Amino acid sequence: MIDILLAAMVSLVLSMIGTPIAMRLFARRGYGQNIREEGPSGHYDKRGTPTMGGTVIVIAALIGYAASHAGTFTPPTVSGMLVLFLMTGLGMVGFLDDFIKIYKQRSLGLRSGAKAAGQLVVGAIFAVLVVRFPNAYDITPAETRVSFLRDFGPSIGIVAFTVWVLIMIVGFSNAVNLTDGLDGLASGATGVVLGSYVLIGNWQLRNSCVNQLGPNCYWVRDPLDLAVVAAAVLGALVGFLWWNAPPAKIFMGDTGSLALGGVIAGLAVTTRTQLLLIILAGLCVIITMSVIIQVGFFKMTGRRVFRMAPLQHHFELAGWAETTIVVRFWLVAMLCAAAGLGLFWVEWVPKA
C-alpha cells in the first residue's frame, strides 16, 4: 500500500507544479490549440490555449512510478514496465500529432494512416512482449486468451491475440481522444477508470494464487505493481485536472489522450480484465459509438442522428452549458466504473 500511495503523491505534486510551468513554456513558444471551423462556435474562444499538456502527465507518472520503487527499495516489474512503455509510446505518437498541428497552424496533425501506423507499431511490440517473461511461478504478464473478469476459454494463438490486443489499444486510445472534447471531460472520465484499476490490482494481490490457492484466486503476474502504475498515472492526472478543469488553462492534446487510452488498455490486458474495460470505460465507449452511429447513418441515409458528434457536442448544440455536460458525463463515467467494479467483486464472492 505504501508503494501505491507514494507513486500517487509524487506524481500528483509533480503534475500540480509542473503543469503551470508547462503552460508558461508552451505559451511563450506559441504552442496553442487550433480549433476546427466546423466545431461549436463557443470553442473559438479557446483558440490559443496551451496544448500538449499530456507531456506533463506522462513525465510525472513515470517519475512517480520510479520514486515509488526507489522509496520502497523494490525493483520495477515487467508488467509495470510494459504498461508504461505502451503509455509512453502512444504519448510520443500523440506528441508528433500535436506538434504538427502547432507547426502548421491547423486542426489536423499526422495523416490518419501515419497516426494509425504509429499506434499499431507500439501496440504490436506490447502485444508480442506481454506474453513473454514468465516469473518463478511461470506466470507471464498476459496469456493468449480473452479475459473478462479473468482469463477464460482456450488460447486463441499469438496471431489472433496480437490482433485482439491491437484492436483494444487502437480502440481505447482513440476513444479517449474522442472524449477529449470539453474542458476536463477526458481527464475525469479516465481518472475513474484508473482509480478502478488501483482497487482491482490491490484486490488481485490480496487474493493471488501465488499467496494462497483457492477457487477464486487470480493468476496475475504483478498485481501490486499494476496498481502502482494506475496510481502514478491517476496522481499525475489529478494534478493536471486542477488546471484542465473548466475553464481549462491547458489542454492535454493527443499526447495525453492517446497515452491515457493506452495505459487503461495495457492495464486491462495485464490484469486479465480485457472485456471488463468496456464497462469500466463505458463513457468513452458511448462517445465512440455516437461517432460510429453518426458516420454510418449519414453514409446510408444522408441524414444525421445527432446535431454533432462526438456526443458531448450534440448536447452543446442543444443548449447545455459546458460545465453541465462535463459534470453529468463525469457522473455517467462514475456509474460505469461502479458497475464494472460491482461485477468484478460479485464474481469473486464465494457461492453458497
C-alpha grid cell for residue 40? 461549436
The secondary structure of 296-329 as a DSSP string is HHHHHHS--SSSSSSHHHHHHHTT--HHHHHHHH
- Residue position matching grid coordinates 493468476: 219
C-alpha grid cell for residue 327? 459534470
Annotated binding residue 254? yes
CA gap 316, 19 in Å, rounded: 28
Using CA of residue 86, residue 222, residue 269, residue 227, what is the dihedral sign?
negative
CB distance 150 to 218 below 8 Å = yes
- What spatial distance separates the first Cα and last Cα of the chain, rounded to whole Å? 31
CA gap 158, 131 in Å, rounded: 8
Annotated binding residue 180? no
CA gap 60, 54 in Å, rounded: 10
Helix (H) or strand (E) holding 46: none
**Phi, psi values for residue 237, rounded to 5°:** -70, -40
Q: How far is CA 201 from CA 118, 227, 282, 285, in A?
A: 29, 5, 20, 22
- 152 φ/ψ sector (left φ>0, alpha ψ -120 to 50, else beta): beta
Q: Vertex 69, ends 230 and 218: CA angle to 5°?
A: 50
Q: Vertex 35, ends 32 and 39: CA angle to 5°?
A: 160
Q: How far is CA 282 from CA 57, 120, 193, 273, 337, in A?
A: 22, 23, 9, 14, 7
The secondary structure of 237-296 as a DSSP string is HHHHHHHHSSSPSS--HHHHHHHHHHHHHHHHHHTT-TTHHHHHTHHHHHHHHHHHHHHH
Q: List the binding residues for Mg(2+).
A: 177, 254
Q: List the binding residues.
A: 177, 254
